[in-house]
């Protein structure tokens, strides 16, 4: 249209369109001037290519604007970026925001959303890591290296032998691992001796449990600074980048690990007696201080020294291990609860759980006594008394071994395990046959009719009373005839010489 001349337009069209044609002619001249004077060498195709390249450059700049955000998100998930993105300025501002004390950091973290807490924690850990590594020197020990501040997917601290924590504790190796975290062997550089360091997972619920355990251990340390009541002694504690760390005295294997390493060959009766005596004495101390352990089990009873002799067993016709010293310590106070504190509905590891806990009738110190009864049975026979993972089956085992559950407890519980005061249990089912085939009345588990064995089972039976109010107390348990044969050098506290008093009392009653 722009290529038509003004004269041609006038011949074809009428006067009414002439004005419009003048405007079109003027626009045609402007178009020609723009393309031939200002850009004489840029054809249309070249301009399109240039336009595409410009749009690409704009998209690149947009990606660059977004890329730092993407890298920042990746840095919260990838350990490789943890020590590389914080500047001194941001570090100073974050340090000011978080505060300088553990209490302030904890209070502030409660006001943040979970996502912001995660970002804030990682930023703080990165900046602290850079400061710690910059000011530490390991020239005195060539085998040492700067410690890692990275966690694995489960929240465990990633470490290697030679790492030094708090400029004091050099990691020598791993002693054990649990749901809470790991226990490592460390050397205290300042004191030049070894100890066990419990490194809690960087997970909120385990951190809170560790704080409660530290509180309990501090109170027990104030009451019993010399650990004469056989509770493990806490030597130090600190927060290492979100990992609560608790240092303990070095101990040996747990009574469970020793049993397992010995192919579950049970302990001799005299060793069962001494371990049980110490356990009753230690837990009685907790009860007298209005504390319930709630997680008593063989894994939480450690030998002071697990060195052993090899002896030949004629019945088994093979060599077995026999621990030389049966001195033990009680550990793991992460679930310990004071009387005035909130009591969780469910406590204790399954196999050592009292019936009042399963029936949700409330619990107190007697639930520890039930656990000790189960432990004594396990040390004596090498097998678990209640080998189950189901509440109803657990109750059926109790009835098979100990007799009917009291009607009062059956009526009082709000659980649905009973019907008209009787356990709702099908003895003809596969589970019912399992219980019938694997469980029998308690007294039939005795390995001998000897008086010592009978006394042990009498004590276990009194510890496994259904009614918590009827269950034997640990003060009474320590006076039980089963412990009469504890030699004088193994007696503890006010119970030294108590055996003679009990023997005189039993003679007078006879």
**C-alpha distance from residue 116 to each of 76, 91, 119 (Å):** 11, 16, 5
Annotation: binding site: 198
Enumerate the H helices of 344-497 as residue ranges: 355-358, 366-381, 391-402, 407-412, 430-438, 451-463, 474-478
As a residue count, the chain comes to: 510
Integer Cα distance of 283 and 377 in angstroms:
17
217: number of Cβ within 10 Å? 21
Annotation: binding site for ATP: 198
Asked if 390 is an active-site residue, the reply is no
Contacts 24+ apart (CB under 8 A), 167-171: 167/136, 169/195, 169/197, 169/247, 170/141, 170/144, 171/197
- Please choose, from the candidates 68, 93, 94, the residue with its C-alpha nearest in 3D space to the C-alpha of residue 81: 68
Encoding tokens for residue 468?
């918590």
Rg (CA), the chain: 38
Beta-carbon contacts of residue 482 (< 8 Å; ≥ 6 apart): 273, 276, 452, 455, 456, 458, 459
Write b or e for each residue in 191-215: b if 16 or more Cβ atoms lie within 10 A of its Cβ, otherwise e. eeeebbbbbbbbbeebbebbbbbbe
Beta-carbon contacts of residue 477 (< 8 Å; ≥ 6 apart): 280, 369, 372, 459, 462, 463, 483
Kind plus residue range of the DSSP H or E element containing 144: none
- In degrees, to the nearest 5, what angle opens at C-alpha 290 toward C-alphas 362 and 407? 25
Q: Which of 163, 295, 332, 368 is catalytic?
A: 295
Q: Where are the beta strands (DSSP E) in 130-205?
A: 164-165, 169-177, 181-188, 193-200
- Please choose, from the candidates 164, 168, 158, 145, the residue with its C-alpha nearest in 3D space to the C-alpha of residue 201: 158
Residues labelled as active-site residues: 295
């Amino acid at each position: 249209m722009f290529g038509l001349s003004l004269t041609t337009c006038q011949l074809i069209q009428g006067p009414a369109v002439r004005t419009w044609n003048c405007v079109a002619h003027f626009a045609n001249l402007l178009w020609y001037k723009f393309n031939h004077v200002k850009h004489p060498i840029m054809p249309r195709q070249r301009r399109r290519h240039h336009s595409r390249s410009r749009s690409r450059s704009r998209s690149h700049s947009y990606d660059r604007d977004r890329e730092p955000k993407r890298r920042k998100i990746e840095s919260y998930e990838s350990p490789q970026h943890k020590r590389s993105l914080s500047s001194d300025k941001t570090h100073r501002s974050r340090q000011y925001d978080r505060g300088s004390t553990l209490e302030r950091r904890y209070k502030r973290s409660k006001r943040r959303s979970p996502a912001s807490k995660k970002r804030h924690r990682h930023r703080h850990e990165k900046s602290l890591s850079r400061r710690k590594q910059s000011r530490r020197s390991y020239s005195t020990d060539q085998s040492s290296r700067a410690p890692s501040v990275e966690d694995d997917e489960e929240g465990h601290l990633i470490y290697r032998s030679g790492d030094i924590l708090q400029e004091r504790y050099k990691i020598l190796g791993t002693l054990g691992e649990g749901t809470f975290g790991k226990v490592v062997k460390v050397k205290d550089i300042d004191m030049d001796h070894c100890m066990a360091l419990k490194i809690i997972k960087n997970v909120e619920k385990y951190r809170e449990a560790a704080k409660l355990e530290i509180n309990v251990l501090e109170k027990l340390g104030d009451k019993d600074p010399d650990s004469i009541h056989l509770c493990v002694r806490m030597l130090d504690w600190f927060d290492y980048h979100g990992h609560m760390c608790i240092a303990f005295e070095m101990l040996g294997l747990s009574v469970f690990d020793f049993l397992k390493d010995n192919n579950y060959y049970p302990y001799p009766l005299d060793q069962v007696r001494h371990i049980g005596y110490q356990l009753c004495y230690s837990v009685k101390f907790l009860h007298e201080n209005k504390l319930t352990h709630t997680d008593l089990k063989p894994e939480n009873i450690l030998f002071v020294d697990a060195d052993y002799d090899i002896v030949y067993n004629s019945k088994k016709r093979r060599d077995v291990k026999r621990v030389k010293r049966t001195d033990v310590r009680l550990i793991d106070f992460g679930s310990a609860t004071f009387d005035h504190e909130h009591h969780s509905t469910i406590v204790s590891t399954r196999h050592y759980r009292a019936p009042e806990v399963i029936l949700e009738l409330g619990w107190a110190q007697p639930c520890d006594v039930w656990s000790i009864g189960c432990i004594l049975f396990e040390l004596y026979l090498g097998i678990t008394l209640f080998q189950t993972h189901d509440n109803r089956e657990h109750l059926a085992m109790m009835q098979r071994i100990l007799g009917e559950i009291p009607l009062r407890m059956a009526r009082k519980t709000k659980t649905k395990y009973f019907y008209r005061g009787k356990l709702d249990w099908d003895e003809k089912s596969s589970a019912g046959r399992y219980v019938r085939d694997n469980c029998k009345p308690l007294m039939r588990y005795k390995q001998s009719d000897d008086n010592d064995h009978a006394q042990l089972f009498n004590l276990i039976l009194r510890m496994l009373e259904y009614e918590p109010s009827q269950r034997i107390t640990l003060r009474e348990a320590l006076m039980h005839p089963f412990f009469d044969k504890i030699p004088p050098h193994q007696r503890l506290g006010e119970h030294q010489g108590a055996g003679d008093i009990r023997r005189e009392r039993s003679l007078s009653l006879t």
